[in-house]
């Protein structure tokens, strides 16, 4: 009997020890969880309307104290409070069976892997956005804190330049219009996207330039034209103030060697010079008694149609053009806005007008809101002209005679081009008068 009672006592003690170990193991299994949303509010009590103790970021780890309905009581950074269960992923659960433990552990590992992958994706995207000057991709309002339902302040516009000061958990802190606020990273053009857009624009421009040159070469093949006015002046250079080489009568045949910016280089009777293209015709003119008694046309008046912008331009506009032309040959650098660093298109126009005490918006699209609108027919030297296939992506300074001065691209730098043909003719958007 004593032997049986001893065995019984041993079994009871053994059971008590095993039970103790089981509960000790449960108590030592510290439950932890990670925040699965961008911002989770840690509250004082398990109530949506209770005081917010702290705002926790994505993947922030917390220690679970206990579960109360749809809420977890947690501790984080020496603060104890409550989180809704749908805002966190538990990384270790105490269950009644080993099988449930294994299933939960596997699910938690998958959640952690997914969270890590999302975190890495965010980090990679954030790495692409650099601190400093960046461009807004679409109209968006700034928020006072990096939370979706935060109070909104000012709106920043598409293509507006902002200063990025901080990047965290998919949010970007920017400074714009003397105001600081937060926007989602998707609203910022990454450096790669900016470079891609610039490369596309340059490729389009190069293709258009090539087509323009081919068309010009075809058009410039020598051809015979006829003077269509009573008297036309042949000038030494392609402008109305140049020296007159000779004068020709109506229906005089001339050989046109080249055409550019409204002027034709011609050869007649061994003499070369320039005639305004609108004074020539591919066919001879019919003559009549009325035509023979008509006074000779003052061709300088006719030629003035080609250069009417110069006659009406303001002194400031002419000075702007002169200043812009003084930088012809300067290098093109994306984001540049000074002679020492080089220029991009809007950096060049901003710099030129700054020399005259005028502050322009930094981007080509932004400058379309500066000054006042002006029609293409009424362009004057000094006006800003904008171009683009879908939206505005290039700006230049109108120089008169259908010509522009601009920072073209990395291979050509600051140079001149015509807007009467090719890329700039086909992709003309509009113009603004600053003076």
Q: What is the pLDDT of residues 314-347, one digit of tens each?
A: 578 999 999 999 999 999 999 999 999 999 999 9
Q: Containing domain of residue 345, as a range?
A: 311-433
Query: Of 189, 206, 229, which residue is a domain's last?
Result: 189
Domain assignment present for 319: yes
Question: 36 with 9, same domain?
Answer: no
Q: Do 319 and 418 have their domain in common?
A: yes
Q: Which of 19-33, 130-144, 290-304 has the lowest mean pLDDT?
A: 290-304
Is 294 in the same domain as 399? Answer: no
* pLDDT tens sequence across 262-273: 888 999 988 899
Same domain, 7 and 47: no
Flag whether 16 is in a domain: yes
**Per-residue DSSP letter, 421:** S
pLDDT (mean) for 396-421 = 93
Let me know: does 174 contact 180? Beta carbons within 8 Å.
Answer: yes
Average pLDDT over residues 33-49: 88
Tell me the HSE value of 46 on the side-chain side, using a 13 A CA sphere: 11
Contact 75, 92 (CB under 8 A): no
If asked whether residues 122 and 179 sit together in one domain, one would say no
- Does 208 fall in a domain? no
More confident residue, 119 or 77: 77
Task: Return all residues near 212 (Cβ < 8 A) that are at least 6 apart.
Answer: 421, 422, 423
**pLDDT tier at 118, thresholds 50, 70, 90:** very low
pLDDT of residue 80: 92
Residues designated catalytic: 345, 394, 406
Say whether both 342 and 268 belong to one domain: no
Question: Residue 107 pLDDT more than 70?
Answer: no
Confidence band for 223, pLDDT divided at 50, 70 and 90: confident
Q: What letter would DSSP give residue 130?
A: P
Are 403 and 418 contacting, i.e. CB atoms less than 8 angstroms apart?
Answer: yes
Is 202 among the domain residues?
no
Mean pLDDT value of segment 352-374:
94
Question: Mean pLDDT across the stretch 352-373?
Answer: 94
% pLDDT > 90, the chain: 40
Does residue 353 sit in the same domain as residue 417? yes
CATH code for the domain of 183: 2.30.30.40
The residues, any chain, with a CB within 8 Å of residue 433's CB and separated by 6 or more, are 371, 372, 373, 374, 380, 382, 383, 384
Task: Based on the fold, state whether residues 168 and 91 are members of the same structural domain.
Answer: no
CATH number at residue 329: 3.90.1720.10
Q: Are residues 317 and 261 in the same domain?
A: no
Query: Is residue 206 assigned to a domain?
Result: no
Of 287, 306, 325, the position where a domain reaches its end is 306
In the sheet that holds 79-84, the strands lie side by side as 52-57, 39-43, 79-84, 71-76, 61-68, 32-35, 88-90
15 or 213: which leads in pLDDT: 213
Q: How confident is the model at residue 164 (pLDDT cuts 50, 70, 90)?
A: very high
CA distances from residue 363 to 77, 159, 189, 203, 244 in whole angstroms, order as listed:
45, 7, 13, 20, 44
Residues 6+ apart with CB under 8 A from 47: 82
Query: Of the ranges 74-83, 126-135, 199-208, 248-257, which one carries the lowest mean pLDDT score?
Result: 126-135
> What is the pLDDT of the chain when averaged over all its residues?
80
Nearest to 420 by CA among 372, 376, 374, 367: 376
Question: In this structure, is residue 195 part of a structural domain?
Answer: no
Band of residue 133 on the pLDDT scale cut at 50, 70, 90:
confident
pLDDT greater than 80 at residue 10: no
The 3-state DSSP class for residue 325 equals helix
In a shared domain, residues 336 and 291: no
For residue 215, being part of any structural domain is answered with no
Domain annotation covers residue 210: no
Tokens representing residue 90 in the block: 């538990």
Q: What is the pTM of this model?
A: 0.38
Give the pLDDT confidence score for residue 321 in this predicted structure.
94
Q: Is the confidence at residue 293, as pLDDT, over 50?
A: no
Residues 71 and 172 reside in one and the same domain: no
- State the Cα–Cα distance between residues 195 and 400, nearest whole angstrom: 31
Report how far Cα 45 is from the mean position of its chain's Cα atoms.
Answer: 46
Higher pLDDT, 167 or 314: 167
Helix (H, G, I), strand (E, B) or coil at 116: helix
Q: How many domains does the chain have?
A: 5
Is 318 found in the same domain as 415?
yes
Angle between helices 345-354 and 315-325 (to 10 degrees): 130
Q: Count of CB atoms within 10 A of residue 273's CB?
A: 22
- The arithmetic mean of pLDDT across residues 27-43, rounded, is 76
């Amino acid at each position: 009997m004593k032997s049986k009672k001893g065995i019984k006592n041993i079994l009871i003690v053994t059971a008590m020890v095993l039970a103790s170990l089981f509960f000790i193991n449960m108590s030592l299994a510290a439950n932890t969880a990670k925040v699965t949303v961008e911002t989770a509010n840690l509250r004082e009590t398990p109530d949506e309307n209770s005081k917010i103790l702290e705002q926790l970021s994505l993947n922030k780890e917390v220690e679970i104290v206990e579960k109360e309905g749809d809420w977890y009581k947690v501790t984080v950074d020496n603060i104890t409070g409550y989180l809704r269960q749908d805002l966190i992923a538990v990384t270790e659960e105490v269950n009644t069976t080993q099988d449930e433990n294994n299933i939960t552990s596997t699910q938690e590992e998958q959640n952690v892997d997914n969270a890590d992958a999302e975190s890495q994706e965010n980090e990679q995207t954030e790495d692409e956005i650099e601190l400093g000057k960046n461009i807004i991709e679409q109209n968006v309002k700034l928020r006072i804190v990096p939370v979706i339902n935060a109070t909104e302040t000012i709106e920043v516009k598409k293509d507006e330049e902002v200063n990025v000061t901080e990047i965290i958990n998919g949010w970007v802190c920017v400074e714009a219009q003397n105001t600081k606020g937060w926007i989602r990273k998707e609203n910022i053009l990454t450096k790669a996207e900016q470079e891609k857009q610039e490369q596309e624009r340059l490729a389009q421009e190069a293709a258009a330039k090539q087509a323009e040159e081919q068309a010009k070469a075809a058009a410039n093949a020598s051809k015979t034209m006829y003077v269509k006015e009573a008297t036309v002046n042949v000038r030494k250079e392609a402008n109305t103030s140049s020296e007159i080489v000779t004068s020709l009568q109506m229906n005089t045949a001339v050989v046109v060697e080249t055409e550019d910016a409204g002027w034709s280089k011609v050869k007649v009777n061994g003499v070369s010079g320039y005639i305004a293209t609108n004074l020539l015709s591919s066919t001879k003119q019919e003559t009549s008694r009325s035509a023979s008694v008509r006074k000779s046309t003052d061709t300088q008046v006719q030629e003035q149609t080609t250069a009417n912008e110069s006659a009406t331009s303001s002194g400031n506009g002419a000075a702007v053009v002169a200043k812009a032309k003084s930088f012809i040959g300067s290098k093109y650098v994306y984001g540049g806005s000074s002679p020492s660093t080089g220029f991009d298109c809007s950096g060049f126009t901003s710099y030129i007008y700054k020399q005259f005490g005028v502050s322009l918006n930094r981007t080509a699209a932004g400058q379309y809101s500066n000054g006042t609108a002006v029609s293409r027919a009424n362009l004057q030297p000094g006006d800003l002209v904008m171009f683009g296939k879908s939206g505005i992506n290039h700006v230049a300074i109108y120089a008169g005679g259908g010509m522009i001065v601009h920072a073209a691209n990395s291979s050509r730098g600051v140079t001149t081009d015509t807007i009467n043909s090719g890329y700039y003719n086909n992709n003309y958007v509009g113009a603004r008068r600053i003076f």
